[in-house]
Structure 1
Amino acid sequence: MIPSILRPLAACALAIVLAAPAPLHAEPPRPVTEADRLFEAGRDASVKGDFARACLHFRESLRLDPTAVGTLINLGDCEENQGHPDVALAYYEQAFARLSVKDDRLPLVHDRISFLEKRSARLELRLGGGAPAETTVTLDGRVLERKELGVSLLLPAGNHLVVVTAVGYRGSRQGVSLGSGEARKLSVWPGPPLEEAVPTFVEHSAAAPHDRERHAGVLRALGIGALGLGVASLWVGSITGLFALDREHLRRDNCDANNVCNATGYDAARSGDTFATVSTITFAAGAVAVVGGLYLVLTNRPAPSPTTAIEPLVSPRGAGLTLRHAF
C-alpha cells in the first residue's frame, strides 16, 4: 500500500499523466463509449478515495475495451491503495509491456513497479511431505489455489496468518511477520492426525461419570440453599404483609374520608407503604428461589446405586430362590 506521505504525490503524478491530452489526429474524435463512461466513473471514485468502487468500474471498462492501457494503470493504482500489491503489480506489468518507449506514462509505471517490489515482501508456501491431497491452505482469510502453492507471492510488509486444514487432521495456524523487501519460504502442514488424540480422550472419558456426579452434587447443594433462602423470604414476606395490613387498619381509624390524617394516621400510612413494598419484594424473591431450588434438586438427583438381593420364589411347580439385581 502507498505510504500516506507519498500517496498525494503519486496520485497527482498519475492524474497528470493519465489526464494529459491525446495527440492530435487527422481523424475526428471517436464517440464516447460505455467503456469510456465506466473509466470516468472509476476516476471519480478514485479521487474520492473509494478505491473498491473504482476498481469495479475499471475492471468492467477493461472488459469492454481490453486494449486500454490507461485502464490497466488505474486498476494497478486502485489495487495498490487497497493493499493488494500482487494484483497491482500484475496490472502494472501488463501496462508496461504494452507501452512504447516514447509514451510519457512509461517512467511512471516503471517507478510503481520498482516501488512495489522494494516496499513489499514475498512468501512462498509449500506443503510438507506426505500432506493429504485435499489439504486447504488459507492466507489472511483467502483460500489459496493449488497453483499458488510453491510460488513466490507478493504481499504487503507486515504480519500475516497461514491456516492449514485437512479432513482427519487437527489443523495448524502460523503467524508470519515479513519486512519490506524480505523473501521467505515456509513449509506448512495440517497438524497431527486426529487418531493421536484418541487415548487422551478415552482417559478423560473414564473419569467423566465421576466429574458429572460431582457437578450434580454442587448443583444439588445450590438448590437446597436456594430452597432455604426461598422459604425464609416467603416467611419474611408473610410477616411484613401482616404488618402492612395492621398499619392499614390503623390508618383508616385515624384518617377521614378525604384522607386527612392525624399524626398517628400519617405514621401508619407511611410505615404501611414500606411494609407493603418489602412484603411484595421478599415474597416474589422467595417464590423464585423456591422454584429454582426445586428445579436444581430434582434435575440433579444422585444416580441410584446398583443393588443385588436374593428373594424367595414360590410357584405351582415348587419353591426356590431368585437373584434380583437393580441398577
Structure 2
Amino acid sequence: MIHKLIVLGILASTSLAAAQAPPPEQPGSASIAAAEQLFNEARTLFDKGDHAAACPRFEASYKLDAALGTLLNIATCYEKLGRLASAWGRYREVIALATKVGDASRLKIARERADAIEPTLPKLTIRARSSIAGMVVTRDDVPVDPAVLGIGIYVDAGGHTITATAVGRKPFSTKVEVKGSEIKVVILPELAIDPDYKGPAPVATTIRLEQDHFDPGRTRRIVGLSVSGVGIATLVAGFGFGAVARATYDTAFEDDLCDRTTLACTPKGQERTDRARSQSLVANIATIGGAAMIAGGVFIYLTAPSPGRIAITPGVEGGANVSFGGSW
C-alpha cells in the first residue's frame, strides 16, 4: 500500500495537471506534426547535452501525442538532469504502458533504470501536528493528498517549498533542502488563528494529537505489573518453603532423631534433615526468582512510554475546550 502511495506522490508532483484532466482525445494530424517537431528539437538539444531545455520539449510533445517512446525519453532526460524522482516516476509509467501494449524492449529498459535509481532517491515526509477541516498542503505549489501525509515520498534532490493553508488561519510556509538519498521530515505546526480574517467564521474543529498514540506504553505497564505480581507470589512461596524447611529440620532434633552436639542422626532423622535441605533449596530458588521477577517488572513498568494526551479545541476562538489524558 505504501509503495503505491509513493508512486502516486511522484506522479502527482510531475504530472498533476495531466492526471486530473480527462483522457486526451485522439490527436489530429496537426497535433502529431507539432509533437514530432517538438520531439526532434528535444532530441537535438538532448544530444548536445542541454537537458534543461530538452525535457520541457519532450513533455510538450508528449501532451500533444502520448507516444510511449516520448515518455521513455522524458524519463531519460530527467535522469540526465538529476531529477531522479521525476525520472523514476516516468519510468514507472513506461513500465505500466509497455506492459499493457506488450513492448518488451522498452519495458526492459524502464525496469532496469527504475530499479537502478530507486535506492538513491531521497524521501520527504510531511507530517501535520493538527488536522483542520479544509486545510490544504502543497509541495512546490502541487497539492499533497491528505492520504500521503506522514508517508515518505520520493522527491527530486534540491529545494522544496511546503505550505499549509486553511480558512480563518494564518498560512504556513517553509523551505527544505533535500540531498542525495537523504530522508527528511517536515512537521507542519498547528495553524494559528488569523485575527484579520473577515470572512464567515470557520466551524471546523482542530484535533491535536500530542503523541502518535494515546497511550503507547499501556501494554508494557500491564506486563510490568503482571511480572511483578508473579514475582511477589513466588517470593512469598519461597519464604513459605523456607519456614517449612526450618520447621522440618528442627523437629528432627526435637524428636531426638538427631543430636545437637554431635549432629549425628538416626536413619529416620537423616531422612528428615535431607528433606529439610531439599525444601530449603526450593525456598532459595523461589526467593531469588521472585526477587528477580519483581525487579524485572519494575524495570518494564518504569521504562514504558508515558501516556499521551488528546486536546480538542474549536477552530475559532471561544467555545468549549475538551482534553483527554493523564498518567499513572
TM-score by length of 1: 0.39
**Which structure is higher in RCO with an 8 Å CA cutoff and minimum separation 6?**
2
Greater Rg by CA:
1
Q: TM-score, normalised by structure 2?
A: 0.39
